[in-house]
Amino acid sequence: MGRQAGLFDIEERLRDLSAKGDDLERINALVDFEAFRPELERAVPRSDRARGGRPPYDHVLMFRLLILQASHSLSDERTEYLVKDRLSFMRFLGLTLADRVPDANSIWNFREALTRATLDGVPAVEALFRRFDAQLRAAGFIAMGGQIVDATVVSAPKQRNTEDEKQALREGRIPEDWARKPAKLAQKDRDARWTVKQGKAKPGPDGAPRLAIAIPVYGYKNHVGIDRRHGLIRTWTATDAARHDGAELPALLDRSNTASGVWADTAYRSAKNEAHLAEAGFVSRIHRRKPKGQAMPQRTARANAAKSEVRSRVEHVFARQKGPMALVVRTIGLARARVKIGLANLVYNMRRMVWLAEVTPA
């Protein structure tokens, strides 16, 4: 029979986890979570408890739970279970085996309050993102070297709508059948959209062109701007998947970057965007398109190849979010999707900061 576990056994197990490499412990060591408290308390006000009742959970504790969710793409129920199950999660949250663990409903209510809140005219999740960006700059990770802009589709559960319903949504109307059934309307995502991703087919062995595959995808888009030097997300926005990438370029430009270069793919090249960049003092490094019906000039092809070496760094952001973080949107509506995507961008920066701190000389 095994012996009864004691306090020192738990401490020894935690030391073993640290020795193996606990990413959450590294984040705890570098990120000042108390710095988020002012925004959290403004965004999610508490009652005065004049009528008594169970005390509410700490704001920073609930925010840490949302960070855990975004790190592992967890549902509220799964988050509650894993916090009770994993010592590393409890240590990250500052909980012991004797402490209460927030249940799924508490997590949902906190996130909903954060979704509805605005602070100084911006969504609360954006204010939290800016708070951490200030931490990054204070730690020496200043935006420099220019910026790289791109977007990716974040999948959401597909909606089985009729053609008439789709047309109504495109026109900004609520389908009549949905309006008569509030329960059905509450389960319908009216903000997510379909779009088509064009695959890139390589030429055949004989050099003959192949047909590119068009892949329909449904959901939202995560538009980001990263700095070239550190690869940290400095600006971001969330839209439906049908939104054109180039339309979001002005909102993604970071005027605090120490260099003026802006790298992006051909989706961002337009006369309007080029004029905006020039007027704002930026230097366009945006890819040029192949002339219609003509071969790509060698000079343009070489310039695009040089730009690709820089621009490709933004793909590491999306690879991390869609790989280990398994980023998807399971909620309904753009407001909730914005919180989901914003937290994922925040978590990426936290993990990136840990890596930069390890590889950057003291």
Q: How far apart are CA 302 and CA 306, in angstroms?
A: 6
Task: For residue 359, give both structure tokens.
Answer: 């590889």
pLDDT at residue 201 tops 70: no
pLDDT confidence bin for 266, thresholds 50/70/90: very high
pLDDT of residue 50: 59
Model confidence over 18-67: pLDDT tens digits?
898 889 999 999 999 999 999 999 999 987 665 666 788 999 999 999 99
In this prediction, residue 246 has a pLDDT band, given cuts at 50, 70 and 90, of very high
CB-based contact 84:11 (threshold 8 Å): no
Task: Count CB-CB contacts under 10 A for residue 157.
Answer: 14
- Residue 263 token pair: 């790298």
Lowest mean pLDDT among 44-53, 223-232, 312-321, 339-348: 44-53
CB 22 within 8 A of CB 345: no
Confidence of residue 6 (pLDDT cuts 50, 70, 90): low
Residue 184 has a CB neighbour count (10 Å cut-off) of 12
Phi, psi of 34 (to 5 degrees): -65, -25
pLDDT tens, position by position, 81-92: 999 999 999 999
pLDDT of residue 5: 60
Q: Which two tokens stand for residue 118?
A: 């605005």
Please give the Cα distance from 254 to 277 (Å, whole number). Answer: 11
Nearest to 33 by CA among 132, 122, 126: 132
Q: Please answer whether residues 353 and 30 qualify as being in contact, where contact means their C-beta atoms are separated by less than 8 angstroms.
A: yes
DSSP track, 132-171: HHHHHHHTT----S-EEEEEEEEE-PPP---HHHHHHHHT
**Which residue type, as a one-letter code, is found at position 137?**
R
Q: Please give the share of the chain, as a percent, with pLDDT higher than 90.
A: 73
Q: In this predicted structure, what is the pLDDT of residue 11? A: 86
The mean pLDDT value for 294-317 works out to 94
Q: Which of 113, 123, 17, 117 is nearest to 62 (CA)?
A: 113
pLDDT at 287: 96
Q: How far is CA 270 from CA 146, 244, 274, 289, 311, in A?
A: 20, 12, 6, 10, 18
